[in-house]
């Protein structure tokens, strides 16, 4: 694809040789004359000077004294991501139902749907047009999948769950398993029936081996555009807003509310009924206590989670403890000497 065409498709401007062909995307370190890369930060800007990339996607202020071929974009990383999709399109699946798949007679299958080997689709399910269901997937009764979803191999969706358009579900994820709900009856636990559902909005991505539990009553809800990494656990009756990003191995207890555009690092633990405000940031490994509120825009870290400035001050104090112990020992020694005199 020519640089001129790519820049026009991205809605960006270019400098240099607009007729240059770029055929692949690559890292700054390895890119060659026919490859595209990008500058996303100051370190990359320094590396770009030595890069052999035929074209670079750069921010508006990037200098170009050598007259290199550039595409200038307000958000180079996002523009590069779009360009990668254009240069490396995902191979389209052949529409149709594999002979080993089992599709219930009452299921509604849209046009252009591809259902892979040994997959199953339950009674009353509705599969949107051009959706791709990988090998070994299990789609329960009365499940709804929107248009152009991609289910990789061995995805399990329990009965009566709804997933919006263009969802991507990676291998091993489980949607709609029972929430962890039990009530003590005498000297033993009785299971609290989990009769709710899971509702996932458009353009969501669910990582490998991630589990989203159905609600006890009502719905566990995931908003439009939210991205969950691998090995994330979402408990029953959680409500996760729009365009939230959650890194791997994070766990949400039941009833947690996460508002729009929050950013949650890896290995974060969030207690029952906690609330995370809009655009809040939770640093990796932090712990949010039951019913705790993290306010909108707040950045927190540590266990229990606390404002970043406070957390860093406490870390600094901890780092000075060995020195403080030595000073205390010296003071005690001097006091003992004075007492002996």
Quick one: DSSP state of residue 38?
E
Q: Which of 118, 236, 243, 295 is catalytic?
A: 236
Question: What does pTM read for this prediction?
Answer: 0.85
CB 36 within 8 A of CB 20: no
For 103-137, letters b (16+ CB in 10 Å) and e give beeebebbebbbbbebbbbbebbbbbebbbbbbbb
Instruction: Give the model's pLDDT for residue 264.
Output: 98
Q: Are 176 and 160 in contact (CB under 8 A)?
A: yes
CATH code: domain 3-87 is 3.40.1390.10
CB neighbourhood size of 219 (10 A): 19
Tell me, what DSSP letter sits at residue 60? Answer: T
Residue where the block lists tokens 């921010």: 59
Instruction: Read off the tokens for 223.
Output: 């908003």
Fold of 96-309: UDP N-Acetylglucosamine Acyltransferase; domain 1 (2.160.10)
Cβ within 8 Å of residue 16, ≥6 positions away: 3, 55, 64, 67, 68, 69, 70
pLDDT per residue, tens digit, the chain (341 aa), is 999 999 999 999 999 999 999 999 999 999 999 999 999 898 898 888 889 999 999 999 999 888 899 999 999 999 999 999 999 988 878 899 999 999 999 999 999 999 999 999 999 999 999 999 999 999 999 999 999 999 999 999 999 999 999 999 999 999 999 999 898 999 999 999 999 999 999 999 999 999 999 999 999 999 999 999 999 999 999 999 999 999 999 999 999 999 999 999 999 999 999 999 999 999 999 999 999 999 999 999 999 999 988 888 888 888 888 888 888 988 998 898 888 87
Q: How many residues does the chain have?
A: 341
DSSP collapsed to 3 states, 106-140: CCEECCCCEECCCCEECCCCEECCCCEECCCCEEC
Alpha-carbon gap, residue 188 to 186, rounded angstroms: 6
pLDDT at 202: 98
- The yes-or-no answer on residue 98 being catalytic is no
Could you check whether 3-87 and 96-309 share the same CATH topology?
no
Domain parsing of the chain, residue ranges: 3-87, 96-309
The CA–CA distances, whole Å, from 101 to 18, 31, 136 equal 48, 42, 8
Distance between CA 93 and CA 110 in Å, rounded? 14
């Amino acid at each position: 694809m020519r640089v001129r065409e790519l820049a026009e498709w991205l809605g960006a401007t270019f400098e240099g040789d607009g007729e240059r062909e770029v055929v692949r995307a690559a890292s700054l370190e390895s890119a060659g004359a026919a490859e595209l890369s990008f500058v996303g930060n100051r370190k990359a800007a320094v590396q770009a000077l030595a890069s052999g990339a035929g074209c670079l996607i750069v921010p508006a202020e990037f200098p170009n004294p050598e007259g290199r071929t550039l595409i200038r974009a307000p958000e180079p990383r996002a523009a590069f991501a779009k360009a990668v999709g254009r240069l490396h399109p995902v191979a389209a699946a052949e529409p149709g139902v594999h002979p080993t798949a089992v599709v219930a007679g009452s299921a509604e299958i849209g046009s252009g749907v591809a259902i892979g080997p040994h997959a199953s689709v339950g009674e009353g399910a509705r599969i949107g047009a051009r959706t791709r269901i990988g090998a070994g997937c299990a789609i329960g009764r009365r499940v709804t999948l929107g248009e152009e979803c991609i289910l990789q191999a061995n995805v399990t969706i329990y009965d009566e769950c709804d997933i919006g358009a263009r969802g991507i579900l990676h291998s091993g994820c489980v949607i709609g398993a029972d929430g962890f709900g039990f009530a003590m009856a005498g000297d033993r636990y009785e299971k609290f029936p989990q009769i709710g559902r899971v509702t996932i909005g458009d353009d969501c991505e669910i990582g490998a081996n991630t589990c989203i539990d159905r609600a006890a009553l009502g719905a566990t809800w995931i908003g439009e555009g939210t991205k969950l990494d691998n090995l994330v656990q979402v408990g029953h009756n959680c409500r996760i807003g729009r365009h939230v990003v959650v890194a791997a191995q994070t766990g949400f207890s039941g009833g947690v509310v996460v508002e729009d555009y929050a950013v949650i690092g890896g290995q974060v633990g969030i207690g029952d009924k906690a609330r995370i405000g809009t655009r809040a940031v939770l640093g990796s490994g932090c712990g949010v206590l039951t019913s705790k509120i993290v306010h909108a825009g707040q950045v927190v870290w540590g266990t229990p989670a606390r404002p970043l400035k406070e957390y860093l001050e406490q870390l600094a104090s901890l780092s000075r403890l060995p020195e403080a112990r030595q000073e205390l020992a010296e003071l005690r020694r001097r006091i003992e000497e004075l007492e002996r005199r």
